[in-house]
A and B are shown apart, each in its own frame.
Chain A
Amino acid sequence: MTLRDLINKLLGRETASANTARERLQLVLAHDRVDMSSLTTDLLDKMRKEILDVVAKYVEIDFEEVAVSLETEDRMTALVANLPIKRTLSGDIKFKKNDKNDKNVKGEKDTRK
């Protein structure tokens, strides 16, 4: 955190726009880059649904909290799935809301490099 961030926080001001730009860019590029290797938004939606179907066979998922997205860092794109589990189907209730380790599928490497 920089001095400026701190002052902004204290004054309840918005964070500097460069941060917003960086985050938006990373998201849009993750999609652009995968698009190039022919994984379209359509396919991504379909895959999201199939992943959920598979996981739902074994555990009960909190569908409201599900997030399956593409994230990119250093020209590597990963498919990141966050699927909070309500309970296992065998009955024992385990609240594990927002547990990051539920499922984390490493995606295909960006084909470019």
Chain B
Amino acid sequence: MSKNTRTILICSGKGGVGKTTLTANLGIALANSGASTAVLDADFGLRNLDLLLGLENRIIYTAQDVLDKNCRLEQALVRHKKEPNLALLPAGDPRMLDWMKPEDMKKISELLSEKFDFVLVDCPAGVEDGFKNALAACKEAIVVTNPELSAVRDADRVIGILNTSDIEPIQLVINRVRPNMMASQEMLSIEDVQGILSLPLLGIVLEDEQVIISTNRGEPLTLTDTLSPAKKCYLNVSERLTGKDVQIIDPKNEGKSLKDKFMRLMQTKIF
């Protein structure tokens, strides 16, 4: 009980911005750094976290069974074979949405807190009950967004709600960053997004096709040996989350081709 567990809500408002991918990669990275870590799929409507982690065939019990006392927490937790420091607590079936209350989520997160250093809660999109239940289980939050109008707007609504709760700190991750487009000013810059949302920036994640490839394989990038732009970012976010004093990856330094260099030249302030 005295364990100082960090339960972190991974939320976004808008769907499809990269919450589940971040949860899976961050979960592996934290576990790999030595912290015992649980990832909780709070997206009961459309569960996916098991797929991204490649654990979909090993689920026997779910969070629902734990709440119903059909099983003990340990029985429902799915340990990752390649990263035993990481365990998944799978979402129950979508009907859970009908009866689930914030207290139920709180109960689950308290159980997990007794065993783990980090609990990452993969939140459903939207700002309705599913989100509010997940929120009740957490102490901190990471808001994931993309450098796009609709994603930033929805993130702002979520931040508005978070600000009325006692969640603290609330940090920002900007996903699917394209350095080229930012350099040619055809994409909102990191400064734009951060300035508009006024949250401390935990990190950025570059747009990277390896994300899709690793999802196909059910192996998060942070688990593989491939050196890819997004993997570097996930590791950076993980380090910063554990309090390591490392710089945020700067998209201006990413992209090494001649075209990138030209784009950067064009971005130079002349007056």
A→B interface (CB under 8 Å): 1-4, 6-7, 16-19, 21-22, 24-26, 28-29, 32-33, 36, 74-75, 112-113
Contact = CB atoms under 8 A, between A and B. Distances in A.
Nearest to B191: A22
Contacts of A6: 270
Interface string B181-195: 010111111001001
B164 A2 contact: no
A32 B163 contact: no
A19 B196 CA distance: 13
A4 B186 contact: no
A21 B152 CA distance: 11
Contact of A112 (B164, B188, B265, B267): B164
Interface of B: 148-149, 152-153, 156-157, 159-160, 163-164, 182, 184-189, 192, 195-196, 198, 265-271
A21 B153 contact: no
B198 A74 contact: yes
A2 B198 contact: no
Nearest to A76: B198
B184 A16 contact: yes
A2 B268 contact: yes
A103 to B, nearest CB: 27
B270 A18 contact: no
Given A16-B185, A21-B149, A24-B149, A113 B268 contact: no
Contacts of B156: 29, 32-33
Closest 10 CB pairs of A and B: A16-B185, A4-B266, A112-B163, A18-B185, A75-B198, A113-B163, A3-B266, A17-B186, A22-B192, A3-B268
